[in-house]
Amino acid sequence: MTAHADYQIAEIDRRLFGSFVEHMGRCVYSGIYEPSHPDADEDGFRGDVLEMVRELGVSVVRYPGGNFVSGYRWEDGVGPRDERPSRLDLAWRAVESNQFGLNEFITWSRQAGVEPMLAVNLGTRGAQEAADLVEYANHPGGTQLSDLRRKHGHDAPHDVRLWCLGNEMDAPWQLGMKTAAEYGRLAAEAAKMMRLVDPRVELVACGSSMRSMPSFAGWESEVLEHCFDHVDYISLHSYYEELERDLPGFLASSRDMDLFIEEMIATVDHVAARKRSRRRLMLSFDEWNVWFQQHFAGPESLTFQEQPRVIEDTYDIAAALVVGTLIISLLRHSDRVRVACQAQLVNVIGAIRSEPGGPAWRQSIYFPLAHAARHARGLALNLAVHSPTYVAEPHGEVPLLESIATWDPEDGAVTFFMVNRSLDRPLPVTAELVGLGDLVVHEHLVLAADGDVRRRNTERAPGAVTPRASQASSVTGNALATTLDPLSWNVVRLV
Ligand code: AHR
């Protein structure tokens, strides 16, 4: 491949390395919050989990849902804890104690060093409640709602910038599902009022809940007909899984993400063209991950418990490789995808797992995100890649090598992120480096199957999947040479 200093995609927005905390299963309760845990701090936040979140290096965390938000009354989760109501959460058929709410999340975010991204309920509620929440969170004081926040112990405004206008409003499973026209109008009115409260808010309109929705593209087109001028982003959600033990097909999942992003760009730019607008909406891929949905019997199977164990998927190396390729896809489209959230942070399809009263550990999918959050700095470079391919339906021809490079003009560091999809063959790679200065190999990190792609971290074996250093890379003149192990994720850092 060739990496050329002039072939730039975009400056990478740090918000690309986000995550998601939903009131679902044990993501909040016994995930990030567990006052009785031996590692809990005075706020009840789990110190072991906080430590892993800081190490993961995620930039933005979306909250409180997800499907949960579409039935949520944010007022239930603020004020004295002993006065907060327990309520039925109809989205996940659980009991929500409301012991953790907006103010706890903001305090946790500050401790974790992440930017909060909030969602408002446009399922069962409307524009007024959305504007009320912005006023409670962001208005300095002197009104009933802002003074209520101050009375609740938060004198300074939370200054939350990023807001989702509802969640998956096209979906039949969504509480208060809407038609595109209904949602488009509501999103426009909510956006108008939220911006009147605080003009600095950045707003995300709901795109289709997945690419395979029959309404995809038509939904976006009609929604944006109503709210194009009022919003900054359109959302994308996508989860991938291995079907019928088809590993080569699963490993090609990022081809679907590539297409989804490109189709979404075409759709929103089509609306811009129709409106004779030069504005370019950005994309917020605010739910993405591997999720073995076939193993989940759906919310109907749940029975109104507090903090039930729901979709606590355990991830292997194969899942980590797919996550790696998905991150490469996001970086490759970083000129338009400016926000992305791996869903979710803890326990529920989580990068981190934790046991009530027990330990926390990193899942395999934690590592590619941690590597990218730390090392994908500066500009994403558009590589010219020639790779052998294989055929995997429905994706067609898929390259064995998936790769992207980033270049940080501040310190000159160039980092290659590469996945070798081959099940059994090492992949020799050479990269010509043009206009990137004199470079040497600083580090080559590898997460590889090493003969067992099903290896997973568990409570008993939390270190079974751990990245290792490799000596396989070298730079001679202006050429990087390396070899990628079969089924491996690689980070090659040049300085
Ligand atoms: O992340 C789990 C769920 O997946 C979210 O609540 C919803 O938005 C999506 O369908």
Percent of the chain at pLDDT exceeding 70: 100
Cα–Cα distance between 230 and 184 in angstroms, integer? 10
Cα–Cα distance between 167 and 343 in angstroms, integer? 13
Under the banding of pLDDT at 50, 70 and 90, the label for residue 130 is very high
Q: Give the mean model confidence (pLDDT) for residues 470-495.
A: 98
Look at ligand 1, atom 5, and give the residue with the nearest C-alpha: 66
Position 410 scores a pLDDT of: 92
State in Å: Cα 289 to ligand 1 middle.
11
State in Å: Cα 364 to ligand 1 middle.
21
Cα–Cα distance between 93 and 105 in angstroms, integer? 22
If one residue of 168, 175, 365 were mutated to test the ligand 1 pocket, choosing by the most ligand atoms within 8 A of its CB, it would be: 168
Q: Are 348 and 26 in contact (CB under 8 A)?
A: yes
Position 286 scores a pLDDT of: 98
Where exactly does CATH 3.20.20.80 map onto the chain? Answer: 13-377
Give the three-class secondary structure for 174.
Answer: coil
287 is catalytic: yes
Q: Are 112 and 50 in contact (CB under 8 A)?
A: yes
Task: Give this complex's ipTM.
Answer: 0.99
Decide whether any atom of ligand 1 lies within 6 Å of the 343 Cβ: yes
Closest CA to 285 of 326, 323, 235: 235
Under the banding of pLDDT at 50, 70 and 90, the label for residue 16 is very high
Give the three-class secondary structure for 197.
Answer: helix
Decide whether any atom of ligand 1 lies within 6 Å of the 34 Cβ: no
- Give the residues across from 163 on adjacent strands: 118, 203
Q: Give the mean model confidence (pLDDT) for residues 307-332.
A: 97
Active-site option among 75, 168, 220, 402: 168
Look at ligand 1, atom 4, and give the residue with the nearest C-alpha: 66
* Atom number, ligand 1, closest to the C-alpha of residue 209: 10
Look at ligand 1, atom 7, and give the residue with the nearest C-alpha: 66
Look at ligand 1, atom 8, and give the residue with the nearest C-alpha: 66
> 90: number of CA atoms within 13 Å, CB side?
10
Where exactly does CATH 2.60.40.1180 map onto the chain? Answer: 389-494
If one residue of 90, 237, 288, 342 were mutated to test the ligand 1 pocket, choosing by the most ligand atoms within 8 A of its CB, it would be: 237
Q: Give the mean model confidence (pLDDT) for residues 361-373.
A: 98
Model confidence pLDDT, tens digit, residues 247-273: 999 999 999 999 999 999 999 999 999
Closest CA to 264 of 307, 207, 317: 207
Cα–Cα distance between 198 and 340 in angstroms, integer? 23
Model confidence pLDDT, tens digit, residues 141-159: 999 999 999 999 999 999 9
355 is catalytic: no
Look at ligand 1, atom 2, and give the residue with the nearest C-alpha: 66
Q: Give the mean model confidence (pLDDT) for residues 313-341.
A: 98
Percent of the chain at pLDDT exceeding 90: 99
State in Å: Cα 178 to ligand 1 middle.
17
State in Å: Cα 50 to ligand 1 middle.
23
Look at ligand 1, atom 6, and give the residue with the nearest C-alpha: 66
* Atom number, ligand 1, closest to the C-alpha of residue 167: 8
Decide whether any atom of ligand 1 lies within 6 Å of the 21 Cβ: no
Model confidence pLDDT, tens digit, residues 434-450: 999 999 999 999 999 99
Position 305 scores a pLDDT of: 95
Position 455 scores a pLDDT of: 98
CATH superfamily of 13-377: Glycosidases (3.20.20.80)
**pTM check: above 0.90:** yes
Decide whether any atom of ligand 1 lies within 6 Å of the 347 Cβ: no
Closest CA to 377 of 117, 116, 16, 6: 16
Decide whether any atom of ligand 1 lies within 6 Å of the 208 Cβ: no
Q: Give the mean model confidence (pLDDT) for residues 357-383.
A: 98
Decide whether any atom of ligand 1 lies within 6 Å of the 344 Cβ: yes
Model confidence pLDDT, tens digit, residues 20-36: 999 999 999 999 999 99
Under the banding of pLDDT at 50, 70 and 90, the label for residue 415 is very high
Q: Give the mean model confidence (pLDDT) for residues 112-140.
A: 98
Q: Give the mean model confidence (pLDDT) for residues 205-214.
A: 97
Q: Read off φ and ψ for residue 59, nearest 5 degrees.
A: -95, -40
State in Å: Cα 310 to ligand 1 middle.
12
* Atom number, ligand 1, closest to the C-alpha of residue 239: 4
Active-site option among 104, 135, 287, 402: 287
Position 442 scores a pLDDT of: 98
Position 49 scores a pLDDT of: 98
Cα–Cα distance between 63 and 180 in angstroms, integer? 24
State in Å: Cα 335 to ligand 1 middle.
25
What CATH number is given for 389-494 in this structure? 2.60.40.1180
Position 482 scores a pLDDT of: 98
Model confidence pLDDT, tens digit, residues 217-251: 999 999 999 999 999 999 999 999 999 999 999 99
Decide whether any atom of ligand 1 lies within 6 Å of the 287 Cβ: yes
Of the chain, the end-to-end C-alpha distance in Å amounts to 19
* Atom number, ligand 1, closest to the C-alpha of residue 91: 6
